Structure 1
Amino acid sequence: MLDIVAAKARPAPDGFATARAALADGADPVALALAAADRAQAAAGDGIFTALVPRDVVERNAAAAAARAAAGEHLPLLGLTFAVKDNLHVAGMATTLNCPVVALMPKESALAITRLEAAGAVLIGKNTMDQFATGLNGTRSPDPLCRNAIDPAFIPGGSSSGSAVAVAAGIVSFSLGSDTGGSGRVPAACNGIVGMKPTVGLVSTRGAVYNSRLLDCIPIFAANVEDASEILALIAGYDPLDPWSRRDADDIQIAPVPAPSMRLAIPRRDQMRFFGDVEAEAAFAANLNRLRSLGFTLDEIDFAPFEEAGRLVFQSALVAERLVEYDEVITAHRDAIHPAALAAIEPGRGYSAKEAFETLYRMRELKRAAELALVDYAAFVTPTVPTIYTIEEMLADPMMRNAAMGAYTYFVNPMDLCVVAAPGAPARAGLPSSLSFIGLAGRDGVVAGLAARFLQPD
């Protein structure tokens, strides 16, 4: 098994630079891909992957990419490897959503995956996840549980748990997940890496199995902001075959850009919650001081509309949308469903159509509230997570503590915002904190630039 035990001194993954330096020195891109396949195989018992691409297929795909490059084709991701959450379709591999009895066998890969492979990246495997993407903690899955890449006593975050750990543990160069209420940010925060959640509709979700068709998007896990932005630029763009794809997707600035102002919004201090974690609170204060030292002005704003929008995601008639994908599943395969996942899906049956419309109307009102609150600021800055629990703590109170993990992430998609989560000052047990840079729809380059500036060495 891959040794990812309690290495708080473990160096952060160094991103694309190492692989590219090796290529520049004459390394074989096939050898780089096979090394990643071997790392993944060594971790096969660690709950990070639901399935691995066979080693001979990895070799064949890497050799094909190398041949294309040798023939003069520009492959920007040559020598890089990736993994994807097991709710994204890969042709010829089962999509299980971490519930094998409902496995799907797609004939086509998700568009984002085909674009990455066209750019030379080699897929290594499919990642574990909270079953049906219904959690934010990583324990709503079959054994063996995926564990935090820095300290295995702690949760890895969810629902894209394996996707984050595969990057944080240095198995692959980057990964893709899915995000409804924080699944592209919470696991990044828990494992000390960057999580980039784009504007909804910027990346086509064609080829994904949805938790919420209204809110879902495909986030990127990477070692740093620049790497994540490079991947986003390759997978973003208007997709006429995806009815939810933004028509202006090709016009949105993706590469990190300087902030349009030095004003940042933060939540009012009296409205913030850290659930008793004084170290997390101190880390957030340290992260804000870092921003002040960079010349930013921080203004407190009312957090109540954001908190209300967050409650809509999993405490309103919006949860009935999950029944579109999973109503028949939880009826036909009830015994195979994780109890916490079932508890997250089944309440949707109790809402009326009237309540669903009322929720959609309120969501629209709160989206406008966010636009008005943030229009004069470069971004809204919050903790990514209010605390991080041990696995033992999470299993002792799985519903309340899972909800706590989304205190600063749930509101983002219903308010049509984009985010980059970046690791910050040390927090509980030496694990890094994480700061979220949140912007209005289409400001993906701005929030990326802010996160990159925050992470830049002095």
Structure 2
Amino acid sequence: MTLADLDFSFASIRRAMAAGAKAPAIIAEACRRAQAAAGEGVFTLLVDPAAAIARAEELQARADAGAVLPLLGLPFSVKDSIHVAGLPTTSNCPAMRLEPKDSAHAVTLLEQAGAVLIGKNTLDQFATGLNGTRSPDPLCRNAIDPAYIPGGSSSGSAVAVARDIVAFSLGTDTGGSGRVPAACNGIVGLKPTIGLVSSRGLVYNNRSFDCIPVFCKFADDAYEILENIAGFDVLDPMSRTDAGAIELRPRAPQPLTIAIPRADQLTFFGDTEAARAYEADLAVLQSLGHRLKPVDFTLFETAGRLVFQSAMVAERLIDCADVVRDHPEAIHPAVWSALQPGLSYTARDAFQALYEIKQAQRQASLLLAGCDAMVVPTVPTIFTIAQMLADPMALNSAMGTYTYFVNPLDMCAVAIPGRTRSDGLRSSLCFVGRAGDDALLRTLARGFEQAMVPALAVAS
């Protein structure tokens, strides 16, 4: 097998390196793939290949001299709302172009561990959207079927992994942007506990809820990246002081009680394939010995609406205020429709929303008492690009049906691919846990992922 035939899972890259391949050659191959996709809406910009390869050569020399570089040979990309020193940050709005002198803390940690950045990924403008069509042409397209949306707002980050251009990528997640595109493209999307990974160096959507998710092919790969970027950051006021104490290693598998939405409250927007796949995926969990406990999903729906249908939307206007004031014509129409309501809220409205969030967190804690975790369909369906463009506001909201609630309720989550549908798309389960339960979710994710291996080629 040549490097051109290599899939970019961590295991395959490391097997190639064990067989004699060096980091510069792997990074050169990643750059070649990225250049080949340069006009396809996956990236907003690419690192100069000569610079990326030179960086890999430097890292390889250090490793050969005895340096411990756990991520050596792994190419990665980041959403273009994450700062990288020396590269512009645009949030997919050229009028907002920023020239950061420092990289985001997470990027710095990854590069110190030996990973090499090869590009910045497209996104729904200002990270406002869950579908991937709120960006300039050419639109980023689904990695499985280009007629479908790639999911957003971290569209390019997910597609770059799904298409084996990079081994992993970083996005941002406010209402599901680290999970929805993972589900749409058949990969893993890991959204950690808020504050576990420093968010210093982001252009924020809603800073109260924002966190950095990881996109990978497999759960353990994603959690390995999380292990390298998690920790307390004294320079980030949102960083958890106990971040270093939150366990990330998998636990011994055991039967658990897992909450699921009541069947009469589920919606798949007419997608019978999605409904069948969800039931089949739940059957896999039951085969592993887990007990599924239906719970009233009303509270979670209500909490989800607080992200984008309350005064919390005014928080979006902080980081993009200059563009809203000086260059409104540069804002995508659907993004403007999402931003504009924030202009009408008062400080009183904002405090009321904060009180409602706190109340919802307490109610969720009581409702989930006796349950170890929760599982939901990551997305209710996957719309085509044509469908989304015809009804951009309503269908975008539909994509967040099972993701919006997670961040306002201060929960962690991980989306894992499930059955392959008869139309070739993948189903996806999202495991949701309390803040700090990242290791528990890793255990659940691994168990489900391993159980799915024999069934991946079986249509639901």
TM-score (norm 1): 0.96
The worse-fitting range, judged by mean Cα deviation, of 180-189 and 317-326 is 317-326
Distance 2:266 2:195 in 1: 30
Q: 1:182 is aligned with what amino acid?
A: G
What does the per-residue CA deviation read over 1:21-47, in whole Å, with 9 as the maximum and x for residues that have no partner? Answer: 111111121010010001000000110
Deviation at 1:405, TM superposition (A): 0.1
Match of 1:50 in 2: 44
Match of 1:6 in 2: none
Match of 1:416 in 2: 410
Question: What is the RMSD of the two structures over their aligned residues, measured on CA atoms?
Answer: 1.3
Deviation at 1:378, TM superposition (A): 2.0
Distance 1:294 1:28 in 2: 40
Match of 2:86 in 1: 92
User: Per the alignment, in what secondary structure is the counterpart of residue 325 of structure 1?
Assistant: coil
Distance 2:253 2:304 in 1: 26
Shift in alpha-carbon separation, 1:12–1:315, aligned structure 2, 3 A = farther
Match of 1:377 in 2: 371
Map of 1:264-279 to 2, 5 A cutoff?
264-279=258-273
Q: Do the aligned partners of 1:12 and 1:193 also contact (CA within 8 Å) in 2? A: no
Match of 1:112 in 2: 106
Could you tell me which runs of 5 or more consecutive residues in structure 1 were left unpaired when the two chains were aligned. Answer: 1-10
Deviation at 1:413, TM superposition (A): 0.2
Shift in alpha-carbon separation, 1:204–1:373, aligned structure 2, 3 A = same
Shift in alpha-carbon separation, 1:239–1:231, aligned structure 2, 3 A = same
User: Per the alignment, in what secondary structure is the counterpart of residue 455 of structure 1?
Assistant: helix
Map of 1:99-248 to 2, 5 A cutoff?
99-248=93-242
Q: Do the aligned partners of 2:170 and 2:213 also contact (CA within 8 Å) in 1? A: yes
User: Per the alignment, in what secondary structure is the counterpart of residue 91 of structure 1?
Assistant: coil
Match of 2:77 in 1: 83
Deviation at 1:283, TM superposition (A): 0.7
Could you tell me which runs of 5 or more consecutive residues in structure 2 were left unpaired when the two chains were aligned. Answer: 455-460
Map of 1:257-406 to 2, 5 A cutoff?
257-258=251-252, 261-406=255-400
What does the per-residue CA deviation read over 1:269-301, in whole Å, with 9 as the maximum and x for residues that have no partner? Answer: 111111111111111111111111111110100
Deviation at 1:443, TM superposition (A): 0.3
Deviation at 1:151, TM superposition (A): 0.4
Q: Which of 63, 68, 74 pairs up with 1:74?
A: 68
What does the per-residue CA deviation read over 1:248-273, in whole Å, with 9 as the maximum and x for residues that have no partner? Answer: 10000112223565211100111111
Q: 1:383 is aligned with what amino acid?
A: P
Q: Do the aligned partners of 1:84 and 1:175 also contact (CA within 8 Å) in 2? A: yes
4+ residue runs over 6 A deviation: none
User: Per the alignment, in what secondary structure is the counterpart of residue 105 of structure 1?
Assistant: coil
Distance 1:294 1:136 in 2: 32
Distance 2:89 2:50 in 1: 21
Distance 1:124 1:455 in 2: 28
Equivalent pairs, count: 448
Deviation at 1:13, TM superposition (A): 5.2
Distance 1:242 1:441 in 2: 18
Distance 1:425 1:111 in 2: 36
Deviation at 1:429, TM superposition (A): 2.4
Deviation at 1:82, TM superposition (A): 0.2
Q: Which of 431, 434, 447 pairs up with 1:437?
A: 431
Deviation at 1:362, TM superposition (A): 0.5
Distance 1:424 1:38 in 2: 31
What does the per-residue CA deviation read over 1:46-86, in whole Å, with 9 as the maximum and x for residues that have no partner? Answer: 10000000011101110111111011001001111100000
User: Per the alignment, in what secondary structure is the counterpart of residue 20 of structure 1?
Assistant: helix
User: Per the alignment, in what secondary structure is the counterpart of residue 294 of structure 2?
Assistant: strand
Distance 2:70 2:388 in 1: 41
Match of 1:7 in 2: none
User: Per the alignment, in what secondary structure is the counterpart of residue 372 of structure 1?
Assistant: helix
What does the per-residue CA deviation read over 1:316-361, in whole Å, with 9 as the maximum and x for residues that have no partner? Answer: 1110111111233112111111001111111101111111111100
Q: Do the aligned partners of 1:388 and 1:428 also contact (CA within 8 Å) in 2? A: no
